[in-house]
Structure 1
Amino acid sequence: MKYFSLLCLLFLITSCYKGKDVDLIIHNANVNIMNDQLEKAEAIAIKDGKIVEVGPERQILNKYASDQIINAQKKDVFPGFHDAHGHLTSLAKQRLSVDLRNTSSYYEVIGRLEKHQSKKQQEIIIGRGWDQSLWNEKELPNNDLLNKAFPTVPVALTRIDGHAMLINNAMMEHVGITDTTTIDGGVILKKDGKLTGILLDHAIDIVNFNIPDPSKAEIKASILDIQSDLLAAGITHIHEAGLYKRDLDILIELAEENALEINIYAMLLPTENNIQFAKENGHYQNNHLSVQSFKVIADGALGSHGACMINPYSDDSTNHGILLKSPERIKEIFNLAKKLNFQVNSHCIGDSANRLVLNIIDTLMKDRPDHRWRIEHAQIVNPQDLKLFASSGVLPSVQPTHATSDQRWAENHIGKERLNNGAYAYNSLYKQSGMIIFGTDFPIEHYDPFATIHAAVQRKSSNNEPIDGFVPKEAVDLSTTLKAMTLWAAYGCFGESKYGSLEKGKQANISIFDQKVQSTSSFLPNYAWLTIVEGEIVFDMR
């Protein structure tokens, strides 16, 4: 009996030390919880895709047991990063066309097109990504060289910002553009009465709606390739910034096939088909795809002089840019979104567009203070209008690498006074709103989150230009930057109760980075060592 009692006691003691079963334990880690208090921990226990507990090493290892234990080797652990403004389907299509990014001259563009065509022999050539500012050219190009190289094959080349397109005469004939063609919200540029081949903003639609997309299978395969690249960068959430219905349908198919591992928060362009989808489905959730917002494009891009400005461009004294939708149409869409309880995220780059949209929201949404409507880009804001972000409750959703890319020509376009007072003013916007959201606008910029960190904190490109930083007074600190990519980005898509920080009960969306997450005067490349979505390892470079 004595021995039996002793055995029972030993059994009870060992039972006490047997931890509760969980699916995954991460330990020996520098866990950045990214809650409001910026607390840290050493270990995480995960079960059924959610965080069970975060705490000290010994506490987690004593309390829980798992067949899958990850020694994080003291690496930095964060909530999976958000890219709060990207274009997944646009990048997918870009990868299926001629890549013209980082071309150093018009002649290099022609060379890439000729090399592509010699292999593909396509009936229509599509290219994306050129930027004449990299060619030491201030003005947009004309199509003379393009016509000589491709006199009979229609060619359409979209600028890096997506708001300008260069086409040859064969493409004009293909889509029916003539000297008399006009379009609301767009410009078909002429010089000395002659068509130049440049289309701006809605004029691009004349081409895009009359040329074939890649096949659905090609686009889906390309999206899945990009998904792998994003997960390898530690990005677990994408805010897809503007979808036509055909692209939404592709994402829905991928979601239904359980092919999406990355979380996608999709913004619908307010087309007739998309509005009908919103009316029929309301807030839509399908595995990793969610839809409850519209994207309204109020003006064009600064690089192509399409951003709508209060005063004319400094280098184009008769040009104020383009308002792509009338104030009446903007109000109509906003009222519809409010009725449907849909968020609206408005592309506003110029100070005139920002002023208009901020004032409309300030009036319309006073009875819904937690609306979380966003201004996307907010690149040029009149200093007098900064306070409207606070009074209207609008969230600034910006892309720090736009600042460091545009620094080559921004002062030339808008002048020193506007540049230093309300341009790329991320610190000012943050102080007004109390939070700020960061993305990249890929494929216009690269999706590398560490380029975003460097641009936000140091105000430099990944090439460390300019050496003293671009408008450095508008830099934000590293903690603010990391919140803008995690907790606040989650708030900006109504997800802060589910993700954005590593707290008990939230989804186990986690990125462990190979190198220390920091910001120094010189750019430091970094990437994910391990990426986890809802408790499942989706990228592993161990």
Structure 2
Amino acid sequence: MRNILFILLIIILHSCMKGEAVDLVIFNAKIYSLDEGNHTYQAMAIKDGKIVELGPDRQILNKYRYTKSVDAEGKEIYPGFIDAHGHLFSYAELKLGANLLGCSSEQEMIERVFDYQNKTKRKIIIGSGWDQSLWENSSMPDNRRLNEEFPNTPVCLYRIDGHSALVNRAFIDLLGDFDLDIKGGEVSIDNGKLTGMFIDAALSVLEPYIPAYSSSEIKKQLKLIQKELLGYGITGVHEAGIEFEELKLLSEMVSDNELSIYVYAMLNPSKENREFALEKGIFNLKNLSVRSFKAYVDGALGSSGALLKQDYLDKKDYKGLCLMDPDELNELAEFCLDIGYQLNSHGIGDSAISIILDMCSNIYKKNPDHRFRIEHAQIIDMEDLHKFSDYAVFPSVQPTHATTDQRWVQAKIGKERMSGAYAFKSLKNQVGMIALGTDFPVEYTNPFYTIHAAVHRMNNKDYPDGGFLKNESLSMEETIKGMTFWNAFASFDEGRFGTIEKGKRATFVILDKPLNRQAKFIENFSWKTYIDGRLLHSLE
């Protein structure tokens, strides 16, 4: 008994002799700092949400008095993953509507809509997520089946990319008379009749008739989405285009501590959002940051809305849709530059990318560190590639788009243009950095799908064998930086997080399994996820 008391006394005295008190010590880990020297550490001390010190286990455990400690069991720790391009509100709405992700046929799509309507009894049915490239007949659908099955209930079903929608006759009847000639959009007509397909700017005709979900419904779904993201170790999202009312809702959730992930919001260029930016300037509210606008220069490739320099191979005398002409884009760019904001431009086709690069050539002369981004950058004219470096244009891409689109992209653009398709390595080599995201809910939020697609150019089913355009693979090191530090830099947050270093926010993920470097997909999750030193997810 005396021996036990003596040992306890020694431990207590030793604790008292320790130095600075901290809140948390993580030890027995393999911490990948991703700092300039790519150092790895065993342990770290955390206080007030920031990293105090990193070092060997013995040094950290002996130097600090700590309230709590975590034995990481030898697991790998990385800076929290950041998704550089996601759509929180679109994902919430997808969950609230008829979820059509992964439908293998038009029949399955119809059946899911039926199931949804039987449960919800909506007066107007809204769904999203269908992708005709997964169907045996991969042509864009018309509304004949919807008209047969839903003759009296208006139905609007958005394609997976959100750039087109299929509506039935009952929905079209709600519209009344409207102009079929829409700048930057297309209303599909066959033999003098509307097919029900509305593409890009033509979606604006439908919007006044789309019923809005309540704030409480959206908030509930955003909390569930946050839980999903934290489970993968995702601690930040670049929200790629929101309206003013959505910004207000985000601000409410952040103020009420209902949303803990970091959100870097890109504002859609509406009148209200412009007024907000002029009044508030660079806006920071706890974990919400606003200092960028989103420009939509063209549509999506899957909907044949991406703006190409030459005709689509599968659509004669057609080059896609221009949603914002150069004068409009230049005006928005000057507006952003004047108020210290970034401009992130959606550009998928080579013609749209060329328009954006020309705009950036003028911006670069006025501010070389503008950090203006091109979102997606999927089909590049390789003659334009050098302009990314010349004008310091930051590429923001989604690796899983490459592994999804590989099924059909060559049939749309032809073999000659494939050299500039999903050219992630070439883009990274131009700028030295590249931002990586998912474009969820167009793709899954799973960051390990992103890693596999970026490094091995295969999907989670290890397809295609050998990888798609493998010469454009990123290394594992480049990929992880493209999900952490480079994404922080792309949002002006490199001083706060993106690496695990002394003085930075203690925002990191402890992975359940080591990162898989083999060309065979292995599922993984976060073992524990921390934001500002707070444990927000644990598998235990």
Range into which the TM-score falls when normalised by the shorter chain:
over 0.9
Cα distance, 1:292 vs structure 2: 0.4
Cα distance, 1:417 vs structure 2: 1.4
Cα distance, 1:12 vs structure 2: 13
* Structure-1 residue corresponding to 2:4: none
Tell me the distance in 2 between the aligned counterparts of 1:175 and 1:69.
61
* Structure-2 residue corresponding to 1:274: 273
Cα distance, 1:119 vs structure 2: 2.1
Cα distance, 1:17 vs structure 2: 4.1
- Secondary structure of the structure 1 residue equivalent to 2:240: strand
* Structure-1 residue corresponding to 2:449: 451
* Structure-2 residue corresponding to 1:216: 215
Tell me the distance in 2 between the aligned counterparts of 1:276 and 1:416.
46
Give deviations 1:258-316, integer Å, cap 9, x for gaps: 21110000000001110011011111111111100000011000001100000011111
Distance 1:318 1:12, change over 3 A: closer
Code of the aligned partner of 1:26: I
Q: How many residues align?
A: 531
Give deviations 1:235-266, integer Å, cap 9, x for gaps: 00000000011111110111111211100000
1:46 aligns with 2:46: yes
* Structure-1 residue corresponding to 2:35: 35
- Fraction of identical pairs, as percent: 45
* Structure-2 residue corresponding to 1:58: 58
* Structure-1 residue corresponding to 2:5: none
Cα distance, 1:64 vs structure 2: 1.0
- RMSD (Å), alpha carbons: 1.4
- Secondary structure of the structure 2 residue equivalent to 1:316: coil
Q: Which segment is superposed worse, 110-119 or 302-311?
A: 110-119
Code of the aligned partner of 1:515: K
- Secondary structure of the structure 2 residue equivalent to 1:402: helix
Tell me the distance in 2 between the aligned counterparts of 1:177 and 1:451.
45
Tell me the distance in 1 between the aligned counterparts of 2:517 and 2:246.
37
8 Å CA contact retained: 1:81, 1:485 = yes
Cα distance, 1:37 vs structure 2: 2.2
Distance 1:383 1:17, change over 3 A: same
Q: Which segment is superposed worse, 426-435 or 186-195?
A: 186-195
1:353 aligns with 2:340: no
Q: Please give the residue correspondences for 1:132-147 in structure 2 after superposition, counting only pairs within 5 Å.
A: 132-147=132-147
Q: Which segment is superposed worse, 136-145 or 378-387?
A: 136-145
1:477 aligns with 2:475: yes
Code of the aligned partner of 2:539: M
Give deviations 1:80-110, integer Å, cap 9, x for gaps: 0000000001101110000001001101111
* Structure-2 residue corresponding to 1:72: 72
Cα distance, 1:70 vs structure 2: 0.3
Code of the aligned partner of 1:326: D
8 Å CA contact retained: 1:258, 1:287 = no
* Structure-2 residue corresponding to 1:5: none
8 Å CA contact retained: 2:126, 2:210 = no
1:316 aligns with 2:321: no
Code of the aligned partner of 1:106: E
Tell me the distance in 1 between the aligned counterparts of 2:208 and 2:233.
35
**Aligned partner (choices 431, 434, 449) of residue 433 of structure 1:** 431
Give ranges in structure 1 of 5+ residues lacking alignment.
Answer: 1-9
Q: Which segment is superposed worse, 18-27 or 168-177?
A: 168-177
Tell me the distance in 1 between the aligned counterparts of 2:185 and 2:85.
23
8 Å CA contact retained: 1:478, 1:518 = no
- Secondary structure of the structure 1 residue equivalent to 2:523: coil
Tell me the distance in 1 between the aligned counterparts of 2:341 and 2:228.
30
- Secondary structure of the structure 1 residue equivalent to 2:450: helix
8 Å CA contact retained: 1:453, 1:519 = no
1:410 aligns with 2:409: yes
Tell me the distance in 2 between the aligned counterparts of 1:350 and 1:246.
30
1:505 aligns with 2:506: no
Tell me the distance in 2 between the aligned counterparts of 1:523 and 1:301.
28
Distance 1:177 1:37, change over 3 A: farther
Q: Please give the residue correspondences for 1:528-539 in structure 2 after superposition, counting only pairs within 5 Å.
A: 528-539=526-537
Code of the aligned partner of 1:196: T
8 Å CA contact retained: 2:29, 2:77 = yes
Cα distance, 1:366 vs structure 2: 1.6
8 Å CA contact retained: 2:363, 2:370 = no
1:396 aligns with 2:404: no
* Structure-2 residue corresponding to 1:162: 162
1:111 aligns with 2:114: no
Code of the aligned partner of 2:485: L
Q: Which segment is superposed worse, 443-452 or 328-337?
A: 328-337
* Structure-1 residue corresponding to 2:336: 337
Normalising to structure 2: TM-score of the pair?
A: 0.96
8 Å CA contact retained: 1:401, 1:461 = yes
Cα distance, 1:519 vs structure 2: 2.3
Tell me the distance in 2 between the aligned counterparts of 1:15 and 1:436.
46
Distance 1:198 1:519, change over 3 A: same
**Aligned partner (choices 464, 484, 487) of residue 466 of structure 1:** 464
Q: Please give the residue correspondences for 1:484-495 in structure 2 after superposition, counting only pairs within 5 Å.
A: 484-495=482-493
Tell me the distance in 1 between the aligned counterparts of 2:457 and 2:177.
42
Cα distance, 1:365 vs structure 2: 2.5
Q: Please give the residue correspondences for 1:277-316 in structure 2 after superposition, counting only pairs within 5 Å.
A: 277-316=276-315
Tell me the distance in 2 between the aligned counterparts of 1:459 and 1:15.
51
Cα distance, 1:136 vs structure 2: 2.5
Tell me the distance in 2 between the aligned counterparts of 1:372 and 1:39.
27
Cα distance, 1:14 vs structure 2: 4.5
Tell me the distance in 2 between the aligned counterparts of 1:311 and 1:35.
43
- Secondary structure of the structure 1 residue equivalent to 2:206: helix
Cα distance, 1:177 vs structure 2: 5.4
Give deviations 1:212-241, integer Å, cap 9, x for gaps: 211011001110111011011100000000
- Secondary structure of the structure 1 residue equivalent to 2:246: helix
Tell me the distance in 1 between the aligned counterparts of 2:343 and 2:71.
42
Tell me the distance in 1 between the aligned counterparts of 2:305 and 2:355.
16
Cα distance, 1:31 vs structure 2: 0.2
8 Å CA contact retained: 2:199, 2:305 = yes
Give deviations 1:460-516, integer Å, cap 9, x for gaps: 001111011001000010000000001100000000011000000000001001000
Cα distance, 1:317 vs structure 2: 2.1
Tell me the distance in 2 between the aligned counterparts of 1:441 and 1:264.
14
Tell me the distance in 2 between the aligned counterparts of 1:454 and 1:444.
17
Q: Please give the residue correspondences for 1:77-226 in structure 2 after superposition, counting only pairs within 5 Å.
A: 77-176=77-176, 180-226=179-225
Cα distance, 1:518 vs structure 2: 2.5
8 Å CA contact retained: 1:86, 1:441 = yes
Normalising to structure 1: TM-score of the pair?
A: 0.96
8 Å CA contact retained: 1:457, 1:478 = yes
8 Å CA contact retained: 2:15, 2:65 = no
